[in-house]
Amino acid sequence: MTKEILNYAADGINNLISAESEPYAGDLHHELFNTDYFIIGRYDATRWLENNVGVFQAIDEIKEYEMNNFGEVNTDLSSPEAVCNMYVYIKGEELLNESKSLMNNWDKNLTKENLEQILTELK
């Protein structure tokens, strides 16, 4: 897990706290990793992949994740931007799965205190 992904999640949680939003816990991953792009642009996405994970490693993880979850690969693997953002989506899910506070409140709306606790656990 890169520091950038952790910081991206933390920024998203801080934005939810600032907006006094109380997202449903089951939707937190979607809110953080599927409503905006981690990286925009082919060049930046390619550089990030090369410097952080390796293009082929990211593609392998995406293929395995999508086959296990959807039975087919939907990500455009010829697009560095799509590969990078899907990889971060997957890693974001893994990151949030480490939060006991999130899991303990899975079927509830998250309060400011819940979000702060999740943020503390992620760091």
Tens-digit pLDDT profile for residues 54-105:
999 999 999 999 999 999 999 999 999 999 999 999 999 999 999 999 999 9
User: Biggest alpha carbon distance in the chain?
Assistant: 41
pLDDT digits (tens, 9 = 90+) for 101-110: 999 999 999 9
- Mapping DSSP to helix (H, G, I), strand (E, B) and coil, where does residue 24 land? strand
Alpha helices, DSSP H only, in 19-111?
28-33, 42-52, 55-70, 80-96, 100-104
First to last CA, the chain: 12
Whole-structure pTM value: 0.93
How many angstroms separate the CA atoms of 123 and 52, rounded?
19
- How many independent structural domains does the chain possess? 1
Structural domain of 92: 3-122
